[in-house]
Amino acid sequence: MADKGFNSFQIAQHQFDQVAEYLGLDQPTRDLLRYPIREYHFAIPVRMDDGSVRVFRGFRVQHNDSRGPCKGGIRFHPQETVDTVRALAMWMTWKCAVVDIPLGGGKGGVICDPHNLSSREQESVCRGWVRQVAKNVGPISDVPAPDVMTNAQHMLWMLDEFETIRGGHHPGFITGKPVNMGGSLGRTEATGYGVVFTLREALRELNIRPQDTEASVQGFGNVAQYAIQLYTQLGGRVVAVSCWDQQDQTSYTFRRKDGVELDRLMSITDRFGGINKGKAKELGYEILDGGAWIEQDVDVLIPAALENQVTGENVGKISKRVKIVAEGANGPTTPDADAALKERGIFMIPDFLANAGGVTCSYFEQVQSNMNYFWEKDEVLGKLDVKMTSAYLAVSELARKQKLYMRDAAYVIAISRVAQACRDRGWV
């Protein structure tokens, strides 16, 4: 989406340039990886319910597929821009590479607001999107998934259109499908659990027992809820969570110093991750302002809501006790706040490593779909733990050896793997 004042693609390129410099990448490799390898821009004409025709703009950006088929979500948003899609596609390349799954990076989008479209109109947008790119995507070339404002139903319509065009069943074309229609068990838990698998390893490295730690979490949606579940199982205590209040159009922090009780709190939370204030008070929560989550006297902060939440303005409010920031959300820390965290020596588990559990499980979904054989949930989550833990260990080892900040180490690993694949293939 267009964000006032900055262009995500330029930021993504700037991050890449810095690592390319550090790695001493040659010019052709830089020229290749600074831009998407392919992109498709197209029109999607849709017959609306009132009989008129509206033409929507759609995109699919394939940043790099040297390590495997492109992978990345499709977003429906009224302010979608191709530059945002380009940036997200590039970040997907690095995310898949850092967890070492054999996939590249892609992202798609349609400029539309599904809130203003009937279900039939949304179905037409989904089918129209596939019709335009069916030749250029698929289980062995580019595998889409849900993202902002798209869900399992959208994926199923897209799959059906793809299978109609191609003929036959190709469930590995798309992930995020409903579980009874080729989706994977464990996908709901995957991102939040993945955050905590990496957090568990970071605590081990810092010689801290999880049961001696407390955390504060921004957000109480899918990622936050499952992160809290696993962290609590490991013995940690979450003392505060924050969320957006739709009615008041502001955010609040809910604090319970004895630790939030996940199930009870979830029972008073709507499906958008908004907590009922009145009922929370009855359960003994203090209701604080939205920014209070970051000021808590805890050991671990988990931003798991939105981008640009830890900023130059509030980074100074982080308690001296905080030792680890585990980024559940994408891009929650602005570059100036990141520099301040680095300076303070706070241990960072960067977003594209910490929250890669989602795409890793999507990869498992694709594998299961291609085999047409589905694993039990324990098997999925066990494999997820192995992948996330080894990804974490590789990054932390490099960070230690080369005295790098964890975010920089994660970029160095991801970009070198992709650059190596391009060289090995003889592209550069």
**Whole-angstrom distance, CA of residue 1 vs CA of residue 45:** 22
Q: Is position 146 an interface residue for ligand NAD (rule: CB under 6 A)?
A: no
318: left (phi over 0), alpha (psi -120 to 50) or beta: beta
Among 305, 348, 381, 415, binds ligand NAD (CB under 6 A): 305
Q: Is position 243 an interface residue for ligand NAD (rule: CB under 6 A)?
A: yes
Q: Which two tokens stand for residue 425?
A: 């293939």
Residue with nearest beta carbon to ligand NAD? 221
Number of residues that bind ligand NAD (CB under 6 A): 23
Q: Measured from the CB atom, is 89 or 243 closer to ligand NAD?
A: 243
Among 108, 128, 186, 219, binds ligand NAD (CB under 6 A): 219
Q: Is position 329 an interface residue for ligand NAD (rule: CB under 6 A)?
A: yes
Distance of closest approach, residue 103 Cβ to ligand NAD, in angstroms: 15
Among residues 179, 182, 178, the alpha carbon closest in space to that of 170 is found at 182
Distance of closest approach, residue 165 Cβ to ligand NAD, in angstroms: 28
Q: Which residues contact 180 (CB under 8 A, 6 or more apart)?
A: none
**Whole-angstrom distance, CA of residue 177 vs CA of residue 103:** 18
Q: Binding segment for ligand NAD among 5-13, 35-43, 98-106, 322-330 (CB under 6 A)?
A: 322-330
Angle subtended at Cα 145 by Cα 330 and Cα 43, rounded to the nearest 5 degrees: 105
Expressed in angstroms, the distance from the first to the final Cα of the chain is 32
Among 66, 355, 366, 396, binds ligand NAD (CB under 6 A): 355
Exposed e or buried b per residue across 398-419, where buried means at least 16 C-beta atoms within 10 angstroms of its C-beta: bbeeeebbbbbbbbbbbbbbbb
Distance of closest approach, residue 211 Cβ to ligand NAD, in angstroms: 25
Q: Is position 304 an interface residue for ligand NAD (rule: CB under 6 A)?
A: yes
Q: Binding segment for ligand NAD among 102-110, 117-125, 243-251, 377-385 (CB under 6 A)?
A: 243-251
Q: Binding segment for ligand NAD among 164-172, 197-205, 216-224, 371-379 (CB under 6 A)?
A: 216-224
Distance of closest approach, residue 181 Cβ to ligand NAD, in angstroms: 18
DSSP codes, 305-321: S-SS-B-TTTGGGS-TT
CB 218 within 8 A of CB 303: yes
Q: Which two tokens stand for residue 421?
A: 């694949």
CB 307 within 8 A of CB 331: yes
Structure-token match 């950006």, residue found? 61
Q: Edge-to-edge strands of the sheet including 142-146?
A: 38-47, 53-64, 104-110, 70-76, 142-146
HSE-up of 237 (CA within 13 Å, CB side)?
13
Among 114, 182, 274, 350, binds ligand NAD (CB under 6 A): 274
Q: Measured from the CB atom, is 170 or 187 closer to ligand NAD?
A: 187
Q: Is position 218 an interface residue for ligand NAD (rule: CB under 6 A)?
A: yes
Among 184, 213, 251, 360, binds ligand NAD (CB under 6 A): 251
Q: Measured from the CB atom, is 367 or 428 closer to ligand NAD?
A: 367
Q: Is position 220 an interface residue for ligand NAD (rule: CB under 6 A)?
A: yes
Among residues 7, 85, 78, the alpha carbon closest in space to that of 40 is found at 85
Q: Is position 15 an interface residue for ligand NAD (rule: CB under 6 A)?
A: no
Residue 107 known to be catalytic: yes
From the list 4, 71, 95, 107, the catalytic residue is 107
Q: Which residues bind ligand NAD (CB under 6 A)?
A: 191, 218-224, 242-244, 251, 273-274, 290, 304-306, 328-330, 355, 358
Q: Active-site positions?
A: 107
